[in-house]
Amino acid sequence: MDTTKNNDEIEIDLREIFAVLMSKLAVIILISVLGAIVAFTYTKFMIAPTYSSKTQIYVQTTSSTPNSTAQPSVGELQSSTYLTKDYLILCKSNPVLKKVIEELKLDMKEEQLAAKISVSTPTDTRIITISVTDTDPWTAKNIADAVREAAKVQIVEVTGVEAVNDVEEASLPDAPIGPNMKLNVIIGFLLGFVIAAAIIIVRFMMDDSIKSQEDVEKYLGASVLGLIPLIETADSKKKKKKR
């Protein structure tokens, strides 16, 4: 019995909350739209657009010369996979970063430059992709080219591979990759919706005033013997008119 009663009370509360939210729907939508406008304004004028430039290199080992017709063994393939992971680390090693900073006279530390660089490789290949993100397209391109050249020297010196060849130079990005205006506006709208709904629900839950006969029976556990209607007198009407 107690469980059924509690479930009934929860259901009534949820209905009341839903009714309150529906009665304030216009306010919720207004605040949601304001949140979307704030997100749009912040994204448009406060966040600088970012550009990405990409370059690729190919690591040529002794057993992978262009004129070689011999099929690589399983051991050689496994060794090549491990070496490729080493190449990725070498592309962002401190010697490479320092050389790029000195060459381009960048006003940043190695950690800041490393955060702009992303290095990846397709599965089962020795092609390494170097991507650089920056707020200036020319800076992104120049850094990508400089990292490529410095990484080629570093890979040859450390691993002793035969050669590291260029696959493609860094291209000049013609369009920014971020920020995502549409996503930010949607997030702003949803945040405004959630905040407005949360405020309304909290105010409703904190309001413990008695407003109806049902509230007296629900919260005080007492039955109402009668209701006294509110009668407006002539004096009260005059006061309303004066106001």
pLDDT in tens, the chain (243 residues): 455 545 444 444 788 889 899 999 999 999 999 999 999 999 999 999 999 999 999 988 755 544 544 444 444 444 455 678 889 999 999 999 999 999 999 999 999 999 999 999 887 777 899 999 999 999 999 999 999 999 999 999 998 888 899 999 999 999 999 999 999 999 999 999 999 999 999 998 887 666 666 665 665 565 655 566 656 555 555 555 555
Name which of 125, 135, 214, 121 is nearest 176 in CA terms.
135
Write down the pLDDT at residue 204.
Answer: 85
Write down the pLDDT at residue 161.
Answer: 86
Write down the pLDDT at residue 60.
Answer: 82
Write down the pLDDT at residue 75.
Answer: 45
Buried b vs exposed e over 184-207: b needs ≥16 C-beta within 10 Å?
A: bbeebbebbbeebbeebeeeeeee
How far is the C-alpha of 9 from the C-alpha of 33, rounded, in Å? Answer: 34
Domain architecture of the chain: domains with CATH: 2-44+180-231 (no CATH), 51-168 (3.30.70.1130)
DSSP state of 118: E
Write down the pLDDT at residue 77.
Answer: 46
Write down the pLDDT at residue 205.
Answer: 83
Run of H or E including 147 = helix 137-159
Name which of 84, 78, 110 is nearest 97 in CA terms.
110
Run of H or E including 66 = none
Write down the pLDDT at residue 231.
Answer: 61
Write down the pLDDT at residue 10.
Answer: 45
Write down the pLDDT at residue 215.
Answer: 60
Residues 6+ apart with CB under 8 A from 93: 154
